[in-house]
Structure 1
């Protein structure tokens, strides 16, 4: 090989290496650029509120923390979500990223646990992640969880002790009192009916245990499923639920420009991998980008981690979506 050709090969290789490392560095930094999104969903019967132009019911949807104990910045950011104006926290699972993650989860959620809350778990609450080639993710192949059990029972006990409801394979019905100490005034006591399933991505769901439909006296009926698998969504829709909340997809995590997902890591189609979409004539689906990622795939591309503030309003009002607030 001539010296000129050798220099050309070496220069090209170096350029490709630098470009690759730069891309990985940017993708790693994206995992720390947290966002809060907002959506407005018209679900309620007209006349629910005294003044529908001023009143709504606010849900903070969080998911997929995949918390490591050392992630202090994420813990502080999540804790600061308590400064937002909301009535209810819904957590759709995959809180843990390692066996030492519970203290970090509780530090992050501590102020949120003072608010009414409901949760279901995902498989990464139960079992630790395992090393994986990041590019295997792009093939959309289902990955078997490890057999290393995580300390989810203690985390669940802490959630329940602070007042959050576990909706896994059970109905949760409760009322939330009017709020006058917030940026908005809600005069109406709000009746909520929620039911959830265990993680269907690994066949842990058993919808028969919550069959029968939601409480007909509730103002709103919400279904929870960590992974938005179509067969579960169809079951919730058939039972009369108005909204299903899920996580799991990380919004696609490694996306094309415009946050266009390459894969969903579940049975959901790519157009619904993040944000709000119609699932049926009477049911909406919201899938959050989530706030973390596996420690073995510490990258995000065109898909920043996020939580969502969901404004539930009366039917007849417009659907609104704000990418960041």
Structure 2
């Protein structure tokens, strides 16, 4: 048994955590007749300097030619990681994008016992070290990505208006639900005055999928919700799945496309298993790192 455990740990550290892949999903949430929209969902990169394989893989995601990039936070795992993260994401920064922060954008991870995750959502046990998140997010905005930290925003694409509602990291209890932009709020790419509004889709964006936030998005009229944070459980049992979600989300929803029900509505929920890990727990088992390519398609008329 000891040998089997050692072999599984070695596999998780040396092999599976670097087996990056793209999960593809199709979700029918757009108004009838709308053109399809390709959304690249990135989450939990947790970059550490020297991860050259991760850099090359992230750069290659630009070949997917998404219409929109949604980054749900935790890009960093080291104080000196910002230049490498920006180099890795440079090819996809040319596409329209939005982002929200995660706790490991603000603060560096700390060494702790992995068994604490089985007692409930993780907490900082001492004053954390702040990371250079303002530099990272400033660069995102300079590239044209919209910051959705506790705010709503709209973006017009050909034939479709995207209405976003985003929150600051719920894991740090910084979330303040802003609702969705009203029809009287102009988009960043406002059409000429006097033209009719395009069909609209409402997208909720958060780092950590806590139930209170999912309820707010759903009750507010979201058509789809995107989140990360859970790492898909990170160390899972084959045939069973995640043992923890590191929040109050049911473990069976810790990775993948499911749905969330609240106030008489049911909304598609995509939770990314993430791309990286904390630098103090560099292991994945039965839970490969992933980016997600969502094709948002029109509902059946």
TM-score by length of 1: 0.83
Q: Equivalences for 1:296-315 in 2 at 5 Å? A: 296-315=280-299
Please tell me whether the aligned partners of residues 205 and 225 of structure 2 are also in contact (alpha carbons under 8 angstroms).
yes
Q: C-alpha separation between the residues in 2 aligned to 1:266 and 1:292?
A: 18
What per-residue deviation string (whole Å, max 9, x for no partner) do you get for residues 227-277 of structure 1? 000001101111111111000000110100036110110010012111111
Please tell me whether the aligned partners of residues 258 and 302 of structure 1 are also in contact (alpha carbons under 8 angstroms).
no
What does residue 176 of structure 2 align with?
206
What does residue 9 of structure 2 align with?
24
Shift of 1:191: 1.2
Please tell me whether the aligned partners of residues 35 and 306 of structure 1 are also in contact (alpha carbons under 8 angstroms).
yes
Q: C-alpha separation between the residues in 2 aligned to 1:147 and 1:235?
A: 29
Q: C-alpha separation between the residues in 2 aligned to 1:95 and 1:259?
A: 28
What does residue 247 of structure 2 align with?
266
Shift of 1:144: 1.4
For these two proteins, the number of residue pairs brought into alignment is 282
Provide runs of 4+ in structure 1 moved above 3 Å: 138-141, 213-218
Shift of 1:141: 4.4
Which residue of 203, 208, 215 maps to 1:234?
215
What does residue 23 of structure 2 align with?
37
Q: C-alpha separation between the residues in 2 aligned to 1:82 and 1:19?
A: 39
Q: C-alpha separation between the residues in 2 aligned to 1:246 and 1:203?
A: 15
What does residue 94 of structure 1 align with?
74
Q: C-alpha separation between the residues in 2 aligned to 1:202 and 1:159?
A: 22
Shift of 1:107: 1.1
SS, match of residue 203 in structure 2: strand
What does residue 74 of structure 1 align with?
54
Q: C-alpha separation between the residues in 1 aligned to 2:240 and 2:300?
A: 29
Which residue of 107, 111, 118 maps to 2:91?
111
RMSD over aligned Cα atoms = 1.6
Please tell me whether the aligned partners of residues 60 and 86 of structure 1 are also in contact (alpha carbons under 8 angstroms).
yes
Q: C-alpha separation between the residues in 2 aligned to 1:62 and 1:116?
A: 13
Shift of 1:76: 0.8
Shift of 1:48: 2.3
Q: Equivalences for 1:144-293 in 2 at 5 Å? A: 144=124, 146-177=127-158, 189-207=159-177, 210-211=178-179, 213-216=180-183, 219-258=200-239, 260-280=241-261, 281-293=265-277
Q: C-alpha separation between the residues in 1 aligned to 2:100 and 2:281?
A: 23
Shift of 1:86: 1.5
Please tell me whether the aligned partners of residues 278 and 285 of structure 1 are also in contact (alpha carbons under 8 angstroms).
yes
Shift of 1:206: 1.2
In structure 2, runs of 5+ residues without a counterpart are 184-196
Please tell me whether the aligned partners of residues 132 and 297 of structure 1 are also in contact (alpha carbons under 8 angstroms).
no
Shift of 1:174: 1.2
TM-score by length of 2: 0.89
In structure 1, runs of 5+ residues without a counterpart are 1-14, 50-55, 178-188, 318-325
SS, match of residue 137 in structure 2: helix
**Larger Cα-atom Rg:** 1
What per-residue deviation string (whole Å, max 9, x for no partner) do you get for residues 91-135 of structure 1? 000000010110111011000100000000101100000001223
SS, match of residue 22 in structure 1: helix
Please tell me whether the aligned partners of residues 31 and 201 of structure 2 are also in contact (alpha carbons under 8 angstroms).
no
Please tell me whether the aligned partners of residues 226 and 247 of structure 1 are also in contact (alpha carbons under 8 angstroms).
yes
